[in-house]
Structure 1
Amino acid sequence: MPGIGEVELKKQIQTGELASVYLLYGDEQMLKKHYSQKLVSKAVAKGMEQFNLMQFYWKDTSMDEVVDAVETLPVMAERRCVVLIDLDAESLKAADQEKLTKLLKDPPDTCVLIVRLDAVQCNPKKSAKWRSLIKKIDSVGCTVQLDHRDMASLSKLLCSSALKRGCTLTPHVARYLVELCGNDLQVLSGELDKVCSMIGEGEITRKDIDMVAVPTLESSVFDLSRAITKRDISKAFSILDTLLNQKEEPVAILSVLCMGTVDLYRAKVASLGGGRAEDLAKDFNYRGKEFRLRNAARDAARLDIDRLREQLDILYEADRKLKGSRVDGRVVLEQTIVQLMA
């Protein structure tokens, strides 16, 4: 069976027609844990977890233990479940690879094996080992890539979640929350909890969000980028002071500042070529961050393409100084901001 999506995974859980093996990977941690728990709840009868559920972290176990657990018969039930967290195909030894391959050729139908990647990254486009493992799992089970949702899905989910908490949230304000706090579901859920707890009930406003929500580094630096674009030096240095007082690393600040300038450059090139900034989402990884392209298209309209190229050179030089010299990071960033505004 080839890789499946979230809709098909939900259907399998609802019907109870589970595969023998699942690989859950991708950027969205909350979804991976959510569906892992759902699969466990469906595979193991309530009250029998002590007998029919085993969980392993790959760094603390061996392939022999995992194979033994999968092949052990369930106690007073049709099946058991084994959860293996952070198996790393890149670091598998030859002997372990052979044992895993043998297991995946004919997995027992008395067990559901869930391989969940929390800290380990799986990139089948760049890794032959991951492509091989995914192919093996797809032949007997299901691989599910759970990445960050797009803005429309996140907005709809936040509005629904707010209602369950006794509050109302408009799609416009929900999008603002995503722009401020990022597209990680776990973070967004926590920030929404704080806002709902503060107001108790009623409609959530942008002002409510600003009072308690914690902006991501990315959001703050994009505000810095917009201040630079508007040549608002007072606001730019104020944002920089706040970031440094929050102990953000100068290299991290510069990295996100580079991202903002690259967004502007891409949007400008798209505009000059007769295209739309939103079309760039198909070629670059902007899933859940499409607002960056819209903002970039708006800000790039009044910028010259040659000036943007100069700014990229300025940022490159700043990156070289931060990583290759002993110059104070604050000084490098302040000089860079002034140069970008020149």
Structure 2
Amino acid sequence: MILREQQLIKALSQPLTQSVFYYYSTEEYAPRRYAEKTIAILQQAEPSELTQIDGPAPSIEEIVDAAGTISMFGTRRIVAVSLEPSAMNDADVAALCDICESLENSVIVMTTIFKDDKAQLTKKSKLLIAAAEKNGIAAELTKPTPADAARFVVETAQKSGASVSKQAASAIVERSGTDFFVLENETAKLAASCNYGEITLPLIEKLSTHNIEANVFDMVRLVTSRRTEKAVERLNELIDLQNEPIAIAAALSGSFLDAYRVKCAQATGKNYSAAFKDFGYKGSDYRLKKAGESASGYTKKQLLQILEILLQLDIKLKSTRADKTALLQTALCEISFAGASR
């Protein structure tokens, strides 16, 4: 069967008798993390020889040599393969599926980072997933929710010898996002900064990285509460950190588009969760929950006006030589004015 993450955690707590493991996701961290964990468990269980073969189109000959060669010491062979099904030809995909069927005293651990959800629905992807499912474990690792990310921060801090409350962990996630690679580095930095004691909210406020989406959430919140001066200050911080003006504008547009969609859903008696489903969002509905909070401060007409302001901003940023910082600041003030008018 194709496992979800909680099922996978349970499976990895049992003795591993499978010969094939395939971890795939649109997120980079989880497949690598579970591949490393699986290999460590296998190596701990019995003497093993590890061969790493990298893709995106791995050599089938190398895989056959690594998996099929009898070790002179009689140890198990582990073959770790990173691949992208779309980069492989049909014959190689078929050959890899055959290898999964015929492993003897060898284990193959495969990982794929799909560019999007559609990529894992291709014929090649389905064949590899089916082969792994038939002969071992196939696990689809979905994008972590903010709650998942906060738990990861707590666990990472504890492993380093530091501590962090759930509230503080959530604050780190709000500021840095849900990318586990970013959170791992951020938590390590904060743990070292407090000499592996407690990571507190004041320390997070002072030292933690504030990603572009988190800053935009703050800007929208400040504009919605009519604190335009503070919103411009936050914008200037983003610019000082060398964030691209077009990227800032795109994040602003995405935030207000989310708010407009939630507003439309509310007009038909639906909530943000329904909008999340109806508009085909993936991952967590956290951003739409935040968008719903912003939408409550605007009418539908105001949100349409704001989206028009942001459209014109995008056009100007891409087509004129005007000062981009000034264009952003002007647009932010126009958004604030549009929200204040009734």
The alignment's TM-score, normalised by the length of structure 2, stands at 0.85
- Any residues of structure 2 matched to 1:275-286 within 5 Å, and which? 275-282=270-277, 284-285=280-281
Structure 1 stretch displaced more, 159-168 or 261-270: 159-168
Structure 1 stretch displaced more, 162-171 or 247-256: 162-171
Contact 1:24 1:143 in 2 (8 A): yes
Q: 1:113 to 1:120 in 2, by over 3 A?
A: farther
Match of 2:80 in 1: 83
Q: 1:38 to 1:125 in 2, by over 3 A?
A: closer
Counterpart of 1:16, as a letter, is P
1:66 to 2:40 alignment? no
Deviations along 1:279-308, one digit per CA (max 9) or x if unpaired, are: 444555464561x33332222212101111
Please give the alpha-carbon distance, in whole angstroms, between the structure 1 residues aligned to 2:125 and 2:322.
Answer: 41
Please give the alpha-carbon distance, in whole angstroms, between the structure 1 residues aligned to 2:275 and 2:147.
Answer: 17
Of 133, 147, 153, the residue aligned with 2:128 is: 133
Residue-pair matches, total:
336
- Secondary structure of 1:116's match? strand
Contact 2:93 2:124 in 1 (8 A): no
Of 244, 251, 255, the residue aligned with 1:249 is: 244
Please give the alpha-carbon distance, in whole angstroms, between the structure 2 residues aligned to 1:218 and 1:275.
Answer: 25
Unaligned runs of 5+ in 1: none
Match of 1:297 in 2: 292
Contact 1:18 1:112 in 2 (8 A): no
Structure 1 stretch displaced more, 208-217 or 53-62: 53-62
Contact 1:44 1:80 in 2 (8 A): no
**How far does residue 253 in structure 1 lie from its aligned partner after superposition?**
0.9
Please give the alpha-carbon distance, in whole angstroms, between the structure 1 residues aligned to 2:177 and 2:37.
Answer: 25
- Any residues of structure 2 matched to 1:142-181 within 5 Å, and which? 142-181=137-176
**How far does residue 183 in structure 1 lie from its aligned partner after superposition?**
0.9
Q: 1:118 to 1:27 in 2, by over 3 A?
A: closer
Please give the alpha-carbon distance, in whole angstroms, between the structure 2 residues aligned to 1:89 and 1:265.
Answer: 37
Contact 2:273 2:285 in 1 (8 A): no
Counterpart of 1:81, as a letter, is I
Counterpart of 2:13, as a letter, is Q
Please give the alpha-carbon distance, in whole angstroms, between the structure 1 residues aligned to 2:123 and 2:254.
Answer: 29
RMSD: 2.9
- Secondary structure of 1:200's match? coil
Contact 2:93 2:128 in 1 (8 A): no
**How far does residue 327 in structure 1 lie from its aligned partner after superposition?**
4.6
Deviations along 1:110-139, one digit per CA (max 9) or x if unpaired, are: 221111125866644653432343233323
Please give the alpha-carbon distance, in whole angstroms, between the structure 2 residues aligned to 1:77 and 1:176.
Answer: 51
Counterpart of 2:61, as a letter, is D
Unaligned runs of 5+ in 2: 338-342
**How far does residue 264 in structure 1 lie from its aligned partner after superposition?**
1.4
Of 80, 88, 91, the residue aligned with 1:92 is: 88
- Secondary structure of 1:117's match? strand
Contact 2:191 2:198 in 1 (8 A): no
Q: 1:206 to 1:311 in 2, by over 3 A?
A: same
Of 334, 338, 341, the residue aligned with 2:333 is: 338
Match of 1:315 in 2: 310
**How far does residue 54 in structure 1 lie from its aligned partner after superposition?**
0.4
Contact 1:169 1:204 in 2 (8 A): yes
The alignment's TM-score, normalised by the length of structure 1, stands at 0.85
**How far does residue 3 in structure 1 lie from its aligned partner after superposition?**
1.1
Please give the alpha-carbon distance, in whole angstroms, between the structure 1 residues aligned to 2:306 and 2:137.
Answer: 46
Please give the alpha-carbon distance, in whole angstroms, between the structure 1 residues aligned to 2:174 and 2:157.
Answer: 17
Please give the alpha-carbon distance, in whole angstroms, between the structure 2 residues aligned to 1:53 and 1:286.
Answer: 35
1:9 to 2:5 alignment? no
Of 269, 272, 281, the residue aligned with 1:274 is: 269
Please give the alpha-carbon distance, in whole angstroms, between the structure 2 residues aligned to 1:160 and 1:100.
Answer: 36
- Any residues of structure 2 matched to 1:171-250 within 5 Å, and which? 171-200=166-195, 203-250=198-245
